Copies of this chain bind each other. A is one copy, B any other.
Amino acid sequence: MKVLITGGAGFLGQQLIRALLDAGTVKLADSPGKVAAEPITRIVCFDVVDGAIKDSKVDNRAGDLGDPKTVAALVDKDTGVIVHLAAVVSGTAEADFDLGMRVNLDGTRNLLDACRATGQKPRLLFSSSIAVFGGALPSVVTDATTPTPQGSYGIQKLIGELLVQDYTRKGFIDGRSVRVPTATVRPGKPNGAASGFASGIIREPLSGFEALLPVPEETAMWVASPRAIVGMFLHALMLSPQDWGWHRSLNLPGFVVTMSEAIATLQAIGGDAATSLIRRQPDAQVQKLVSTWAARFDTSRAQSMGFKADSDFNQIVRAYVEDNRDAIKVPVRI
Contact segment of A5-13, A31-39, A146-154 = A146-154
- Residues in B neighbouring A246, C-beta threshold 8 A: 135
Tell me the chain A residues, 241-263 only, with Cβ under 8 Å from chain B: 246-247
A166 to B150, CA, bound (A): 8
Q: List 5 A-B contacts (CB under 8 A).
A: A144-B146, A146-B147, A149-B162, A152-B166, A155-B163
**CB-CB under 8 A for A97 and B247, given A146-B145, A155-B162, A155-B165:** no
Q: How many residues of A contact B (CB 8 A)?
A: 21
- Asked if A125 is at the interface of the complex by the 8 Å CB criterion, the answer is no
- Asked if A288 is at the interface of the complex by the 8 Å CB criterion, the answer is no
Tell me the chain A residues, 239-291 only, with Cβ under 8 Å from chain B: 246-247
Chain A residues in the interface with B (C-beta under 8 A): 97, 135, 144-150, 152, 155, 158-159, 162-163, 165-166, 169-170, 246-247
The answer to whether A152 and B170 touch across the interface, beta carbons within 8 angstroms, is: yes
Partner of A166, one of B155, B162, B170: B155
- Residues in B neighbouring A144, C-beta threshold 8 A: 146
A68 to chain B, nearest CB (A): 13
A236 to chain B, nearest CB (A): 20
- Residues in B neighbouring A145, C-beta threshold 8 A: 146
A115 to chain B, nearest CB (A): 14
A144 to B155, CA, bound (A): 17
A148 to B246, CA, bound (A): 10
The answer to whether B148 and A247 touch across the interface, beta carbons within 8 angstroms, is: yes
